[in-house]
Amino acid sequence: MRLAEAIASTFAYETHTGKRVYKGNVDAEWTIGQVPHGGYMISLLANSCIQSQSNSRHPDIVHISAQMPVASTPGPFMTQISVLRAGRGYTDLHVELIQRGKVNIRATVIFGVLDPPPSEPHIDRQSLTLVPPDQRARRVPLDHPSAYESSPALKVFSFRHRIDWAIDRQAQSEYARINAEQERAGQGRDHDYLRWSAWLEVKDNPEGIRADMIPFFADMFENGPMMMPEDLKPKAAWFPTMTIAIQYMTRIDPASLDRFSSDSVGLWSGTRFVHKGAHEADVEVWTAPSRARIGQGEAQSGWRDRQRILAVSRQMALVVPADLNKRLGTRTDAKL
């Protein structure tokens, strides 16, 4: 099932206490091994919330903070949404995603109003917005998509035929080289964390990049422990997400899809600390240039200044044996 269809939910009813309930199905195609992809699960939750807020004065997701103590399984689910606070600038929601009577995900989702990306790069001093062409603004940390070749998707991605991606292996090698040189010289390391970047393309996606897809994108990266030296790299491991916080930076406006790709995003991640397998991952989700695909198109002058950051996230993940993935994927009370 296509991503846009696989994250869909429908309104079911409203309780006497004012909770809005949505129902849907966790698609078996969007799994890592036997367990649904963590970001995909948050996208299901986001889809319900966006529907609930669609006619309000705060229609845009601004922030998601979620805990995932219980592994989900393919099959029916429901989300229960209650309003914690409705203020002038923001609305705070409490959301629970439930399967078989158990709460798998608890989240606080903040809604507000985001600005769409400007039609041209400009310096905005009035709203304290730091974007290109201001030299202090961060640019998309990737070369143009046309400069890359597709990378094979991991076999544990049940949805691998639904995506294409190009991992920037050259950048990873450069980070490793700089670290090694500084270590040999006895210097403090300026690049002392595990970095990864890629262009990600969703196949068969006529709906375009949507806000409810952002959590899926924010959870598509190579976990830091897998970038460690071979003698330290975990073997046959699974990296379940325990908590994730996502800040939306730019409204995804259909009117801007002629300037940005409708099916691709740029991804960057960095991991600084690993302690007994627990590790953090900071992730950036960027727009991709219009009419450019992996290994195709042509870099236009100033293309990097025209890209915008869509979201930033931080998550905590674990390193556990891969066999646990298989066991949890078949249990009805799958706890991590």
pLDDT digits (tens, 9 = 90+) for 264-283: 999 999 999 999 999 999 99
Residue the block writes with tokens 């669609």: 54
The answer to whether 206 and 5 have CB atoms below 8 angstroms apart is no
pLDDT exceeds cutoff 70 at 154? yes
pLDDT score for 175: 63
Percent of the chain at pLDDT > 90 equals 76
The whole-number average pLDDT for the span 20-26 is 98
DSSP state of 234: P
Distance between CA atoms of 229 and 195, rounded to whole angstroms? Answer: 13
Residue with tokens 């740029």: 266
Both tokens of residue 135?
A: 């030299």
Q: Say if residues 63 and 42 touch (Cβ distance below 8 Å).
A: no
- Residues 328 and 334: their CA atoms lie apart, in Å, by 5
More confident residue, 123 or 197: 197
C-alpha span between 164 and 314 (Å, rounded): 24
Task: Say whether pLDDT at 332 is over 80.
Answer: no
Residue 29 is classified by DSSP as T
State the pLDDT at residue 259: 84
Residue that wins the pLDDT comparison between 233 and 239: 239
Which sign, positive or negative, has the C-alpha torsion 12, 92, 217, 264?
A: positive
Cα separation, 319 vs 91, whole angstroms: 35
List C-alpha distances in Å: 159 to 32, 129, 199, 219: 8, 37, 16, 14
Residue-averaged pLDDT of the chain:
90
Q: Give the domain 3-113+139-330 fold.
A: Porin (2.40.160)
Q: Which has the closest alpha carbon to 201: 298, 289, 301?
A: 289
At residue 188, φ and ψ (nearest 5 deg) are -65, 145
pTM for the complete prediction?
0.92
Q: Looking at residue 336, what is its pLDDT?
A: 45
% of the chain with per-residue pLDDT over 70: 88
What is the model's pLDDT at position 117?
A: 76
Task: Give pLDDT, residue 253.
Answer: 77
Contact 269, 222 (CB under 8 A): yes
Instruction: Tell me what the mean pLDDT of segment 310-334 comes to.
Output: 88
Pick from 287, 268, 285, 283: which is nearest to 313 by CA? 283
- Which position has the higher pLDDT, 179 or 71? 71
Residue showing tokens 């691998």: 160
Helix (H) or strand (E) holding 133: none
- The two most distant CA atoms of the chain are separated, in Å, by 68
- Region of 73 on the Ramachandran plot (φ > 0 left; ψ -120 to 50 alpha; else beta): beta
Q: Which positions ≥6 away from 183 have C-beta within 8 Å? A: 189
Mean pLDDT for the stretch of residues 162-191:
71
Lowest pLDDT segment from 36-40, 110-114, 116-120, 301-305: 116-120
The encoded tokens of residue 15 equal: 């309780």
